[in-house]
């Protein structure tokens, strides 16, 4: 069920699939006889130096892909020199990550009806010295994710015959999960009045995502937080203009990995228009669909300053923990550097649309 959670989208999964296939339609211009000896893929994201323009996107339940998964991933990011973003719906808590890392990580916030809880979450992120707050805008209601519904997804999993048979085929996962005490949503359990077990959490969560979320709430969050603020989930030019007017540090062009509105456009398809509309007002990042270093280069060429990856790091995490996340990042960096070289560029910060074949650039 946790693999299906990562490897799926909503409804027919058309947007989930388009996130990848639309990247594949974009083609590079190969350049030759250019001095490409001294190359750098280092950049900045929201003023933070990064060894490549990639950050780990917030992904719920990472601690179910691998025991203490968020801690493993955060450590890998710290050593590699890129930002890690912890989800509100993580298994490890804000305090867990702060206790096991030194580099400031980022915290992602879901806006819920219980504003007192949200205020406390923001305060906890401040106390943990998080470097940025990433507010997700596209989960006011939850998309219909058929695989999760079929599997009866919960954390920890329910003890059923089907689950027990499945566990029997994954002894290493089971052994690691038995060794850790982190098996529930660490940012929520014990931090909300009346929510102290899975039963009460499920009931509370079902009622908490706030359909009234609007731009005035962003002003309240910005004031309460007081630090770098990123808005994630923008997929429309008009919304991008409204978001940029909020005075935030970055916008993330994202469709939630195809897990919300099935039938929406892919992130890479809408990036050029959003970049043309607000790219000189606010820093843009792209999330959803990146599976390689080549995809990172395409996003940068079309106007993104940085990118965020979710599924690629989850696959590495599920396979080998911290070492798997590190290997994922190494692969992305190698692909990014090599492709940039073939395109005749030496500095990722100077890459523009000239690295792409003009006939393949999304309108």
Strand partners of residue 60: none
Question: At which residue do the structure tokens 């990848």 appear?
Answer: 20
CB atoms inside a 10 Å sphere around CB 95 = 13
Beta-strand ranges (E) seen in the chain are 43-45, 48-50, 54-56, 85-86, 106-110, 132-136, 229-234, 250-253, 283-287, 306-309
The rounded distance, in Å, linking the Cα atoms of 74 and 82 is: 9
Burial class (CB in 10 A: 0-12, 13-18, 19+), 166: middle
**Which among 72, 256, 313, 345 is annotated as catalytic?**
256
Mutual orientation of helices 237-244 and 215-225 as an angle, nearest 10°?
40
C-beta of residue 348 within 8 angstroms of C-beta of residue 300: yes
Q: Tokens at residue 223, please?
A: 């004031």
The rounded distance, in Å, linking the Cα atoms of 348 and 114 is: 42
Find the farthest-apart pair of alpha carbons in the chain and give their distance in angstroms, rounded: 67
Q: Is 256 known to be catalytic?
A: yes
Catalytically annotated residues: 256
């Amino acid at each position: 069920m946790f693999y299906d959670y990562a490897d799926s989208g909503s409804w027919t999964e058309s947007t989930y699939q388009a996130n990848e296939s639309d990247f594949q339609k974009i083609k590079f211009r190969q350049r030759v006889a250019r001095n490409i000896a001294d190359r750098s893929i280092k950049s900045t994201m929201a003023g933070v130096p990064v060894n490549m323009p990639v950050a780990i996107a917030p992904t719920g339940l990472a601690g179910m892909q691998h025991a203490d998964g968020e801690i493993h991933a955060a450590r890998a990011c710290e050593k590699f020199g890129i930002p890690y973003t912890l989800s509100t719906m993580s298994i490890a808590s804000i305090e867990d990550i702060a206790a096991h890392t030194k580099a400031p990580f980022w915290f992602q916030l879901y806006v819920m009806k219980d504003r007192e809880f949200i205020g406390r979450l923001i305060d906890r992120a401040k106390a943990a010295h998080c470097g940025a707050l990433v507010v997700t805008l596209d989960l006011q209601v939850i998309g219909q994710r058929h695989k999760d519904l079929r599997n009866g997804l919960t954390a920890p999993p329910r003890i059923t015959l089907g689950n027990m048979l499945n566990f029997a085929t994954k002894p290493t996962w089971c052994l690691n999960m038995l060794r850790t005490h982190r098996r529930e949503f660490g940012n929520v359990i014990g931090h909300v009045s009346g929510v102290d077990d899975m039963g009460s959490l499920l009931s509370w969560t079902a009622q908490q995502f706030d359909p009234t979320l609007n731009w005035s709430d962003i002003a309240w969050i910005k004031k309460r937080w007081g630090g770098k603020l990123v808005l994630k989930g923008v997929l429309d030019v008009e919304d991008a203009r409204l978001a940029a007017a909020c005075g935030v540090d970055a916008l993330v062009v994202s469709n939630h990995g195809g897990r919300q509105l099935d039938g929406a456009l892919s992130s890479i398809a809408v990036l050029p228009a959003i970049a043309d509309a607000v790219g000189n007002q606010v820093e843009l990042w792209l999330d959803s669909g990146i599976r390689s270093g080549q995809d990172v280069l395409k996003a940068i060429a079309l106007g993104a300053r940085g990118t965020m990856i979710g599924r690629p790091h989850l696959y590495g995490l599920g396979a080998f923990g911290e070492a798997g996340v590190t290997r994922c990042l190494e692969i992305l960096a190698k692909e990014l550097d090599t492709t940039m070289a073939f395109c005749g560029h030496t500095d990722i910060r100077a890459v523009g649309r000239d690295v792409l074949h003009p006939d393949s650039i999304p309108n």
